[in-house]
Chains A and B, each alone.
Chain A
Amino acid sequence: MTIDMSQFIAVFFDEAAEHLANMESLLLKIDVSAPDPEDLNAIFRAAHSIKGGAATFGFSDLTDVTHVLENLLDRIRKQEIALKAEMVDAFLQSGDVLQSMLGAHRENGDVDQNEIQRVTQMLTRLVADQEAPGQSSEQVLTIVIQAGESFDEQMLLDELANFGEVQDFEPGDIHSAWRYHLKTSASEPQLLDSITFLVAPERLSIETIENREAAFGLFPTTPAPALTVDEGFGFFEPLPNNQVEVNVEEQGYGFFAPITPPTPASEPSTAQIVEIAPVQAARVPNERNADKSSADSSIRVSVEKVDQLLNLVGELVITQSMLAQNALQLDPVLHEKLLSGVAQLERNTRELQESVMSIRMMPISFVFNRYPRLVRDLASKLGKQVELRMIGENTELDKGFIEKLSDPLTHLVRNSLDHGIEMPDVRLSRNKQAQGTLTLKAFHQGGNIVIEVSDDGAGLSRERILSKAKERGMSVSDNMSDNEVWMLIFEAGFSTAAEVTDVSGRGVGMDVVRKNIQAMGGRVEIQSMTGVGSTMSIRLPLTLAILDGMSISASDELYIIPLTFIIESLQPKSDEIKTLAGRGNVINVRGEYLPLIALYDIFNLSAKLKSFEDGLVIILEAEGQKVALFVDDLLGQHQVVVKNLETNYRRVNGVAGATIMGDGHVAFILDVAALVKMAQHVSSSDIAKLAA
């Protein structure tokens, strides 16, 4: 008998991913100076479970990495060695590597072997380092720039300042090399990465203290004051670690008092404080919520099964409403029992529908949980101090949103960190705390779920946005309301970033965010005040499967327009409608001329109404374009269940999906963005015809 292993492997992948996520969130919460033994055990268990599973399924590479990880964790939890911020970093990085390995196994892809090796070595080194206690990750690196043409020194110094303290430097010229001594906890690759923007990589090298000593023979002419100091090294026994050497170098400046190597205990603790600070800066306030126990009592069900269930219940709801409609015609006295049965059916159906819907719901913490890490990494990269606060993580929303929300939300978080929150010194000069606050908040509001990303940073600059808009030739005026101004940043390619940074400002930006949110049937709003901060709110319907729509009729057909695209509807007067170039129509809405398109035209239906005055005009907005859509009538507002048309058919231009109305008939949901494009196409082909 053969056993289909694939199903077990899938479970392993899911579980391993869960363990990793759990490990990461625990690591981010951990207090380095006084770790909770319970947390350490949990992290250890997670690593151990992954290792066990990986070994069972023969993923030896996973086993190898987790083995080293587990070793170190085991010693930490047994308090043989103390936890260090550096270790947390290493654990997080190995988590990333494990994640990519899992992904690779799942999709039969390849993993970057160098990355695995790097992490494994780092972990091994951390274990080994503990043999010689008192080690700190801070070291003095010497950046050597080979002689040659000059470069922007100030830029380089600024860049280096991001990584640590430049202790001194030896200027070079065309003939001799430049040397910068940097006291930093950053690794060489990190440094190299950022400096290569300023100096060609082939001219660049980095020496640690050890190899710098060795290199001295090669550069005997360098008139560095440090040289004499370093010669003093010969008097002493090789020191156990870099940190001590740094101290020796500092103390040895200018005079040669006999120095005994300081004992680890007397080592200045300043270095460690500096090193821990960024970690604390981005730490989430320690909230031990009750979700530890809730994780155990759940079962894993495939999404298809839930969708199928949802479909069936939707069908039941329609059948029930049909029954109810028919029952209305019965004599209430004669059919009392039947009618009360129908009423009960209605109640039960509704409850059933609600509980089936709730199966698809997941707490938003699934999205939020990735941000402590992101904020931590980004804040330390940007040199900012940020506290991340998360409110309402248990707010539930549709699983479909969870996946689609992470991209736009990540973008907003990055934006806030990069452009919103100022550097600590700027904040201090503005009478704010050096540490900025980034708040992620989710809550329900009237049938919607609202997710807010707010910061107490600089806020949006009205002047800059307006001048940028003018530069791009957009029609703006100085007396636009703040709200209208903020909305400008959603225009394609609109970036107010003064400079392109590593983090954001590359042009793909808010327009994509808005597009993604709109694709989910939601919208984005901005509130901002200069110097106080800004809040971006995303408003989404409760589930992907349900949409607020307006039903309209056009030549005997019924269509649904998603409510989020509708601005207003009005009854057109004939003098408001003008023709353009004799063919295309425009409508004057309070001084603004909008292209007027008729739905029956676009969909090639037969026109039922004789004149525009008999029908209605709906003003729609999609992707910044406004159009007026002419329809026969507005019928009403519904919540409709969205069905995919492509399941059994192909995509239809102008149609986003379909839904089933209360009477069992199918109605199409209009794709407003596509309609706007179609309208533009119609009018441009008209112009082409005229030109011909």
Chain B
Amino acid sequence: MEQLLSEDGVNRELLVFALGKEEYGIDILKVQEIRGYDAVTSIANAPSFIKGVINLRGNIVPIVDLRVKFNIGNPSYDQFTVVIILNIAQRTLGIVVDGVSDVMTLSTEQLRNAPEFGAALDTAYILGLGTVDDRMIILVDIEKLMTSADMALVETAIA
């Protein structure tokens, strides 16, 4: 929970995206840009949620489809498919989500601890739950998640 607070005690801004009917929030400082889905070059023998790599202004950037990874949402690819490019642990990678809805700051009163049973993802990567009116936003430690071993994005898990 403390990780959501920045150094000067103000709550960080979150980027909220949708996966199926669930809403997830990640630290906006990890987000580099949001772009559409381009043709990817698929990687041989990679897990199905790693769609492949794209050319992002000269950088080779891997693309993960979180919808496939978490088995929620609708993995279809058209001109409306959203890719969030993240900067994590000095790496650049993209995640495919159903849509980006909001940028918001949550106050401490709006934060809840995550219950022990999680959604599709392990509660180890959930920092907490945020409530806005009757919406529930799952706050994800995106860095820890993306560097975890089962994402198979990095050689050995950094976290």
Contacts and interface: CB of A to CB of B under 8 A. Distances in A.
- Whether chain B is bound by chain A comes out as yes
Interface string A666-685: 11100000000000000000
A647 B53 CA distance: 12
B58 A660 contact: yes
Contact of B45 (A647, A652, A665, A667): A652
Contact of B41 (A604, A653, A665): A665
Given A650-B152, A651-B155, A666-B53, A314 B42 contact: no
A648 interface: yes
A314 B93 CA distance: 20
Interface in A630-675: 643-655, 658, 660, 664-668
A668 B91 contact: no
Contacts of B58: 311-312, 314-315, 318, 643, 660
B92 interface: yes
A346 to B, nearest CB: 19
Contacts of A647: 59-60, 91-92
B159 interface: no
Interface residues of A, number: 31
B61 interface: yes
B55 A665 contact: yes
Given A650-B155, A651-B155, A643 B60 contact: yes
A605 interface: yes
Contact of B59 (A557, A604, A648, A667): A648
A666 B41 contact: yes
Interface string A111-141: 0000000000000000000000000000000
A648 B91 contact: yes
B46 interface: yes
Contact of A650 (B52, B60, B154): B154
B65 to A, nearest CB: 15
A602 B62 contact: no
A652 B44 contact: yes
Nearest to B41: A666
Interface residues of B, number: 25
A472 B106 CA distance: 73
A558 to B, nearest CB: 8
Contact of B55 (A312, A603, A660): A660
A210 B72 CA distance: 90
Nearest to B92: A648
A655 B53 CA distance: 13
B53 A649 contact: yes
Nearest to B91: A648
A603 B60 contact: no
Given A649-B53, A666-B55, A655 B44 contact: yes
Contacts of B21: none
A603 B44 contact: yes
A648 B93 contact: yes
Interface of B: 39-46, 52-55, 57-62, 91-93, 152-155
Nearest first, the 8 A-B pairs at minimum CB distance are: A603-B44, A666-B41, A315-B58, A649-B62, A311-B58, A650-B155, A658-B60, A648-B91
Given A645-B53, A649-B93, A665-B55, 13 more contacts: A603-B44, A603-B45, A643-B58, A645-B60, A647-B59, A648-B61, A649-B53, A649-B60, A649-B154, A651-B155, A655-B43, A660-B58, A666-B53
18 contacts: A315-B58, A603-B45, A643-B59, A644-B60, A647-B60, A649-B43, A649-B91, A649-B154, A650-B155, A651-B155, A652-B44, A653-B45, A655-B44, A660-B58, A665-B55, A666-B55, A668-B43, A668-B44
